[in-house]
Structure formats: C-alpha cells, structure tokens
C-alpha cells in the first residue's frame, strides 16, 4: 500500500473495502437461497451455483481481511444486504432457471462496472487492494459470462428483471459508499474524454 494518501482517498479506499465486503456477503446470501430452491426444483443448476457460492465466500474473506489495514469495518447496512440478498435469491429461484441466471447476470454486470471504476481509482494508491480486486474481477466476469450464456433470446420480462436488479444493486452500492462509487465513475468518464 502506498504510504501517503490524502484523507479523502484513504476514506474512499475504506469505503471500497466495506462495500465490496458487503456485496460479497449479499452474493453469498443470493446464491445460498437459490441453491436451497434449486436443490428441489432445478438440481442441474446446483453445481454451478455452488461453485459461484464458493468464489463469493472466498472473495468476502479477502475483503474482510483487507479491512484492518485500511481502517475499514463492515457496512452499517449489512442486514439490508443480507435480507435483500436472500430474498432476491429466493424469489428469482422461484421464477425458474431464467430467473436465477437473470439475477446473476444483472448483479455481476453491475459489480463488474464498479470493480472497473475501483481498479482505475486504486491504481497507484493501493497496489495490494488493486491486485485483490483484479483477481476477483476475473471470477466475477466468468460468473457473468456463464449467466449470459444461459439467457439466449431474452424476453421482455427477463430484460425488465435484469434492469430492476441492476438498479437496486447500484443503489445499494451508492448507499454503502456514501456516493464514492458515483464520484469514481464520474472521474473515470471525465478522464476517458480528455
């Protein structure tokens, strides 16, 4: 980690770790609920969902371990992430295989955009966290690609479900970072224009 950080950058990094930890915890809850339903209704989905759950558990642990060095702590709205994640996983699994994969695709697409913003922000500021996020990003991208491969010929309901889940994910990320996620995305867009 780079020793000299402005207070604002140090706070943004603490928030990045916090929101990523919360997001991974929410993903654990989504996949756990989906697996509970899929075991009874769609057993063919369970192996991939279990693999994704294992990845999310590992990611959550990595972010939890990164907290102390960055003066971060778990998110204050963890119960919202927990309850919301479980409810989202349960309801989308009841919608069928397409509901499961639409949920995964929506969440992973939103997460992927935020991870890209975070990687850009962290470059030269926190090389250790940058490396962690870069390695996690590849697994999250694999989850996204798998889900999208299951959703060929998306009907309007699936597109609407994906849009709603993506919007909710962005709102939770914004709330959990106190707006830092939006500022990072704006800075990234401004730099790409200049």
Retrieve residue 9's tokens. Answer: 């950058």
Digit-coded pLDDT (tens) for 40-81: 999 999 999 999 999 999 999 999 999 999 999 988 778 888
Digit-coded pLDDT (tens) for 128-158: 999 999 999 999 999 999 999 998 877 888 8
Q: What is the pTM of this model?
A: 0.86
For all residues of the chain together, what is the average pLDDT?
Answer: 87
Inter-axis angle of helices 7-41 and 97-122, nearest 10: 160
Dist CA 188 CA 9 (whole Å): 15
Q: Is the pLDDT of residue 86 over 90?
A: yes
Q: Is the pLDDT of residue 188 over 90?
A: no
Q: Is the pLDDT of residue 189 over 60?
A: no
The pLDDT value given to residue 155: 82
Q: Which residues, including other chains, have CB under 8 Å from residue 78's CB and lie 6 or more apart?
A: 22, 25
CATH class for the domain made up of 7-193: mainly alpha
Q: Which residues, including other chains, have CB under 8 Å from residue 24's CB and lie 6 or more apart?
A: 56, 57, 59, 60, 63
Phi, psi of 123 (to 5 degrees): -55, 120
The percentage of the chain sitting over the pLDDT mark of 90, rounded to a whole number, equals 55
Dist CA 84 CA 26 (whole Å): 7
- 3-state SS of 38-57 is HHHHCHHHHHHHHHHHHHHH
Domain ranges within the chain, ordered by starting residue: 7-193
- In sign, the C-alpha dihedral spanning 130, 131, 134, 136 is negative
Runs of H (alpha helix) within the chain: 7-41, 46-66, 78-94, 97-122, 127-149, 156-177, 180-193
Digit-coded pLDDT (tens) for 104-113: 999 999 888 8
């Amino acid at each position: 980690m780079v020793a000299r950080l402005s207070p604002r950058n140090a706070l943004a990094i603490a928030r990045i770790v916090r929101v990523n930890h919360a997001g991974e915890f929410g993903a654990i809850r989504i996949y756990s609920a989906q697996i509970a339903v899929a075991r009874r209704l769609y057993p063919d989905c369970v192996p991939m969902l279990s693999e994704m759950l294992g990845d999310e558990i590992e990611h959550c642990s990595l972010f939890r371990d990164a907290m102390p060095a960055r003066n971060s702590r778990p998110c204050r709205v963890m119960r919202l992430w927990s309850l919301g994640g479980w409810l989202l996983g349960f309801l989308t699994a009841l919608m069928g295989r397409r509901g499961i994969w639409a949920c995964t695709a929506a969440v992973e697409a939103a997460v992927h955009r935020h991870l890209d913003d975070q990687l850009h922000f962290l470059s030269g500021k926190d090389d250790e966290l940058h490396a962690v996020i870069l390695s996690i990003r590849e697994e999250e991208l694999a989850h996204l690609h798998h889900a999208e491969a299951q959703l060929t010929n998306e009907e309007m309901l699936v597109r609407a479900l994906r849009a709603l889940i993506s919007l909710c994910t962005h709102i939770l990320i914004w709330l959990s970072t106190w707006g830092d996620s939006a500022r990072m995305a704006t800075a990234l867009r401004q730099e790409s224009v200049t």
